[in-house]
Amino acid sequence: MNPKNNRMVENQNEKEGTSIKPRVKILNCPIRTTLGVLGKKWTMLIIRDIGFLKINRFNRILESIPGLTPRVLSMRLRELEKEGMIKCKQIKGDQLMVIWSLTEKGKDILPILLMLTAFGSKWYAHYVFEDKKPRKLDEMFSEGEAEAMICEYGNRLDFGNATLEYKNHNKLNNRIKFTNYDPKNNSEKE
């Protein structure tokens, strides 16, 4: 590439922002790999039901997701259990009761679902809400519930020396902010 073209590429990168490039060799794209499991139809909604809505019985999950068939639900539950994202507990009584719950690995998906909720509520409000108005998470959930969810699920993410913290400014300007922790100075930098 000649120097003139090199400068054009550099200028374009400056306009578009900085790219994120890994420092280690990656064999398979982590996004593609994750979507191989979570990207299957109905999977994220099943995890939503078990994790957020606490719907943990086969028939209740089936009722809560219109269009999901018993065969597909059974397949997805088996796949998620095999991947270690959910676990099955059998309770014996008059009738055998099967209850599904998230494992630690499964709980790590909840921050992703929370961010999808925020994204969909902002950019697809015309499909999500009756009044078609975009909303932030704190406008969707009861007082403090969104902040608690972000803190609880955000703490599950591991960014190495970077931490994820929720800032609440006068209950009006809610945002997620990345802060880099400097262990040498025992301080945080934005």
Cα–Cα–Cα angle for 163, 166, 172, nearest 5°?
Answer: 155
pLDDT at 147: 73
- Asked if 144 and 180 sit in the same domain, the reply is yes
- Asked if 93 and 61 sit in the same domain, the reply is yes
pLDDT digits (tens, 9 = 90+) for 97-117: 999 999 999 999 988 898 899
Domain count, the chain: 2
Alpha helices in the chain (DSSP H): 3-16, 30-38, 43-51, 58-64, 70-82, 104-107, 110-123, 125-128, 137-140, 145-154
Give me the CATH number covering residue 95.
1.10.10.10
pLDDT digits (tens, 9 = 90+) for 65-81: 999 999 999 999 999 99
42, 73, 102 — which closes off a domain? 102
- Asked if 184 and 112 sit in the same domain, the reply is yes
* Whether 62 contacts 73, CB under 8 Å: yes
Position 168 confidence tier, pLDDT thresholds 50, 70, 90: very low
Q: What is the pTM of this model?
A: 0.73
Position 140 confidence tier, pLDDT thresholds 50, 70, 90: confident
Which helix (DSSP H) or strand (DSSP E) does residue 189 occupy? strand 187-189
2 lies in a domain? no
For residue 39, the 8-state DSSP code is T
75, 102, 129 — which closes off a domain? 102
* 137 or 73: which leads in pLDDT: 73
- Asked if 84 and 155 sit in the same domain, the reply is no
* 31 or 6: which leads in pLDDT: 31
* Whether 102 contacts 85, CB under 8 Å: yes
Tell me what the mean pLDDT of segment 126-135 comes to: 96
Which helix (DSSP H) or strand (DSSP E) does residue 170 occupy? none
Closest CA to 146 of 125, 171, 124: 171
102, 117, 152 — which closes off a domain? 102
Q: Is the pLDDT of residue 129 over 90?
A: yes
Residue 71 sits in which domain range?
24-102
Tell me what the mean pLDDT of segment 164-181 comes to: 42
